[in-house]
Structure 1
Amino acid sequence: MNFGTINIKGAGGVGKSKAVRGLLSKYGLNFVAIQETQFSELPERIIKRFWDNTVMDYIKVNADGRSGGLLSMWSPGVFTKESEVLSQNFILVKGKVTGEQEDMIVVNVYASTVQRNRRQMWNELLLLKQSIHGRWILLGDFNEVRFPKDRFNSQFDVGGGALCFNNFIMSAGLQEYNMGEGEFIMRWPDATLLVLNRDVSDHCPLILTTSVNNFGPIPFRVFHTWMEDQGFDEAVKRGLNKGCDSIFKDERLGRKFKAIKDELKSWRISEKAKEEEKLATANENIQKIETEAETRSLSEQEIEMWQG
């Protein structure tokens, strides 16, 4: 499942919906979190501009006047919503990713610029984290940084907002993605976090891809006739017997299939070499028989060999 988040600074701006659709197409996004729609009543006709022609589901929180406003959109074929929690500063969606058993909780955050209000929001989210179980991912505009190196051209508040923010992260058992640890990252080890250049907003879009945008594994063709050949069953058994230490059932199954495919490939290379050797010998014998046929009559045995 691939996620995208952007502070759009006004959903009605020229070119903004087109830019988001471009991200949707380029990165294969299944979930898009938008902050600062700045609409006190965001109409559905504008919401639909931010998605392509495929089926889409969404939840919105209207802005307080011209301040804030949130929009979460997703593909229901990939993520199925089961419940939601709405606040002026966040949208929490709980559901399941297709093919996964554990619940996924996605929180689209637009934190207040007022430190007191941010602290209250962290406390609310912490209570929700303790009561709603599953894999959590928080994305959006937190209006806060964790460390001095993340603050540019402004003063770092070491004893206030940053402390509350870091305490919330630790208390909730969350991990910043680029730290490279945690259960979420272990589940999708090939995931990547991209920071894109500013375009239609003064905020950089973030893209979290947990799946590769391709057409899946290259198909491996197996002919029914192979199953009757000597060595086929043994190759399959060797693949099945190869170990896999993953704790995830779908990953273990995928690795088993790959191991079987690798063993069958090796077996076919060996078998093909033998078949080509036999074919070369047969062609050589036929050439000899055809040469003999030019000077004499062939025996029944030679005719049978030539026809066979």
Structure 2
Amino acid sequence: MEIPSNSLICSPRYCIVFMKIISINVRGLGVEDKIGWVRGICSSEKPDLIALQETKCKQVEDRLIHALWGNSDCGYIQKEAVDNSGGMLLVWDIKNYVAISACVSEFFLVVKGHWKGCDQDSIIVHVYGPHDDASKKIMWESLDYFVKSIDAAWLVCGEFNEVREPSDRLNCVFHQRWANRFNKFIAEINLIEIPISGRKLTRISDDGLKFSKIDRFLASDKFINLWDDLSVIALDRKESDHCSVVLRDKLLDYGPKPFEVFNEWFNKEGVEEVIKEAWKKPVTSIHSDSMFGDHLKNVKYCLKQWSNATFGNLDKEIGTLKLKVEDWGKKAESCSLNDIDRADWLEARRCWIENEKSKTKMLKQKARSRWKTKVRPEDGDCLVVLRRKKVEEKVVEVVCSLVRKQMREGREE
């Protein structure tokens, strides 16, 4: 199936890659409440891909997909519902994920591509498992052949309509024979289930009595090795009988960008030492993601102090130097200056001009960063806070080198 042409549009992106994929059985997209619910999840979670099962739509129109996603910066493939039953939709962020090819099967959707900044291709399979045993067997055989025929980084996710062990069901019948077949299928294609947190069981019946875990993320070693630390969490179900299930790289959520930086900082000696010394300061967190955030807070605080000391009195210093240059100029007009006085005059003039240039550059960069926050993605260069500037590359270079060193030391221990 041909991917919509807009799904391959690229916008500038920083090369540090994070990932988030959400799977949701929406139980129909025909009402505004469901559309608003999915749009709210996309807005708050900001996934790279979202896999929707049971859309119950013959065909989901572009307008509705853009409303669900929150904008038109997305590519997608879908399988139409049959007699108001079933239906699948897989949507991805074209700013983060580059789709190369895609196809539609009776029981699953497939997209092959890669995250921008990551050279390794991956294949995402979005599953909506059938209920009857014969169809389940056909789906598993098709997936088995498909996965074994291509050596790639595989992720198979969605609603499988099958469980693996008795604890995956509560107050409903467990079939050991089909659980064994499901586990055999997973083992034979060398997939690993990413453990779930938040909630153990992902579906609840309308009467609130029966629970089951039928929504999963299964990944190959190659896919797992693309990321630092994968985790799965189940969110509240709200508008469906299924929880929304989120796969993410744990290093994703550091909150807002911790500080602004300016090109002019790196024209001053000592700024790299400030960053390195700030990174060495102790932190109180014990979890790796929280520790990383605390290290960045230390860097932010120390850079702020250094910037205030270095540039904080720039206006006052410029004013003083300007007056000094004017005084020397008037004195030079009335009498001849000796070598020492002339050197002082020229040095004051040099410092005055350099400080004026520094101030102008910083103001210009700050104004440009504000302007960038208002640029639309379709205008091209749409990233915020000067991501294409060498200044951020320098900060990332210094900080990442410290992170890599810390991770190496942790492994050695």
- TM beyond 0.5: yes
1:193-212 paired onto structure 2 within 5 Å: 193-210=232-249, 211-212=252-253
User: Which of residues 171, 183, 187 in structure 1 aligns to 2:226?
Assistant: 187
Structure 1 window deviating more from structure 2 (136-145 vs 178-187): it is: 178-187
One-letter amino acid of the structure 1 residue matched with residue 253 of structure 2: V
The separation in 1 between residues aligned to 2:72 and 2:229, in whole angstroms, is 26
1:5-32 residue CA offsets vs partner (Å, 9 max, x unmatched): 1111111123111111111111111111
1:69–1:88 contact (8 Å) kept in structure 2: no
Q: 2:145 is paired with a residue of what secondary structure?
A: helix
Question: What TM-score does the superposition give when structure 1 sets the normalisation length?
Answer: 0.70
The separation in 2 between residues aligned to 1:199 and 1:217, in whole angstroms, is 33
The separation in 2 between residues aligned to 1:179 and 1:8, in whole angstroms, is 19
One-letter amino acid of the structure 2 residue matched with residue 52 of structure 1: G
The separation in 1 between residues aligned to 2:259 and 2:151, in whole angstroms, is 36
Q: 1:226 is paired with a residue of what secondary structure?
A: coil
1:19–1:200 contact (8 Å) kept in structure 2: yes
Structure richer in helix, relative to its length: 2
Residue of structure 2 equivalent to 1:109: 127
1:50-79 residue CA offsets vs partner (Å, 9 max, x unmatched): 110241111010012222100000111111
1:265-304 paired onto structure 2 within 5 Å: none
**Which runs of 5 or more structure 2 residues have no equivalent in the other structure?**
1-18, 198-218, 278-291, 310-344, 349-413
1:247-295 residue CA offsets vs partner (Å, 9 max, x unmatched): xxxxxxxx9xx9xx98xx79x99xx9xxxxxxxxxxxxxxxxxxxxxxx
The separation in 2 between residues aligned to 1:201 and 1:135, in whole angstroms, is 31
Residue of structure 2 equivalent to 1:225: 268
User: Which of residues 150, 156, 180 in structure 2 aligns to 1:163?
Assistant: 180
Residue of structure 1 equivalent to 2:28: 10
1:57-72 paired onto structure 2 within 5 Å: 57-72=75-90
Indicate whether 1:127 and 2:145 are aligned: yes
2:125–2:156 contact (8 Å) kept in structure 1: yes
Please report the RMSD computed on the Cα atoms of aligned residues, expressed in angstroms. 3.6
User: Which of residues 15, 19, 22 in structure 1 aligns to 2:40?
Assistant: 22
Shift of 1:225: 2.9
**Which runs of 5 or more structure 1 residues have no equivalent in the other structure?**
240-254, 273-306
Residue of structure 2 equivalent to 1:178: 195
The separation in 1 between residues aligned to 2:74 and 2:29, in whole angstroms, is 17
1:112–1:118 contact (8 Å) kept in structure 2: yes
Residue of structure 2 equivalent to 1:300: none
1:28–1:213 contact (8 Å) kept in structure 2: no
1:69-108 residue CA offsets vs partner (Å, 9 max, x unmatched): 0000011111111111211211011011101111111111
2:154–2:222 contact (8 Å) kept in structure 1: no
Shift of 1:214: 3.5
Seen in structure 2, the aligned counterparts of structure 1 residues 34 and 213 have a Cα distance that, compared at 3 Å, is farther
The separation in 1 between residues aligned to 2:187 and 2:127, in whole angstroms, is 18
Seen in structure 2, the aligned counterparts of structure 1 residues 52 and 119 have a Cα distance that, compared at 3 Å, is same
Indicate whether 1:148 and 2:177 are aligned: no
Question: What TM-score does the superposition give when structure 2 sets the normalisation length?
Answer: 0.53
The separation in 2 between residues aligned to 1:197 and 1:98, in whole angstroms, is 30
The separation in 2 between residues aligned to 1:201 and 1:179, in whole angstroms, is 19
Structure 1 window deviating more from structure 2 (2-11 vs 189-198): it is: 189-198
